[in-house]
Amino acid sequence: MKTPEFPNHNYTYEDYLKWDGQWELIDGVPYSMASSSFTHQYIIGELYAALRDYFQQQGCIVVMAPFDVIFASNLDDKSVKNVVQPDISVICDREKITEKGCVGAPDLIVEVLSPSTALKDRNEKYKLYQRFEVKEYWMVDPLHRTIEVYGWHNGVYEKREVFGEQDVLVSFLHPDLKICLKDVFQRL
């Protein structure tokens, strides 16, 4: 949700570092981070466990929010206008990882939709992740118990499929990564 106490839409990473609380910055517009529900956190935990097991064997790092993803080539660039905290980020290039967060695009981002963030995740974040070439983007819909998988292909996102709770999710970029979604959603 947009935050009315910020009068302009031209904020930078340098401004972001001064704010109290949890924020995201998309194209210079600040967004306050809402508290998560049990369902939201539970799904993140289940997906984190599945992704961590797989990606550790690939030499990648899997992190959960709050963890900054800074869409910049380096932290010296104070004019950066895009800093987000995806629910889960998978980073295979360890040189992108700093104590401040991930500098550059992660390989995979997972966002769990909630009523207060669904439009932002489907619109602003989708466009942001596509523009900065995040290789794969998953949108998890807890209400409908689905996961939409998008993969970077020929300069845009291509929707692989919408997987339901009875399906086995297959990654766009890592076809040997398979997650039984019954295991993710069954205890909800």
170 alpha carbon, distance to own chain's centre: 18
Q: What share of the chain is helix, strand, coil (3-state, %, to 5)?
A: 25, 30, 45
Position 3 scores a pLDDT of 45
Position 73 scores a pLDDT of 83
CATH of domain 36-64+86-97+104-185: 3.90.1570.10
Cα dihedral: 173, 99, 130, 171 (round 10): 20
What are the residue ranges in the chain where pLDDT is below 70? 1-7
Nearest-CA neighbor of 38 among 141, 140, 142, 123? Answer: 142
DSSP characters for 123-137?
Answer: IIIHHHHHHTT-SEE
Position 6 scores a pLDDT of 67
Contacts of 45 by beta carbon, 8 Å cutoff, 6+ apart = none
- Percent of the chain with pLDDT strictly greater than 70: 96
> Whole-angstrom Cα distance, residue 95 to residue 102?
9
E strand map for 94-145: 97-98, 101-103, 108-112, 136-141
Sorted by where each begins, the domain ranges of the chain are 36-64+86-97+104-185
Report the predicted TM-score, pTM, of the whole model to 2 decimal places.
0.93
**Which 3 state secondary structure label does DSSP give 9?**
coil
Position 2 scores a pLDDT of 45
**Which 3 state secondary structure label does DSSP give 129?**
helix
Position 1 scores a pLDDT of 41
Q: Give bridge partners of residue 154 from the DSSP assignment.
A: none
**Spatial contact of 108 and 136, defined as CB atoms under 8 Å apart:** yes
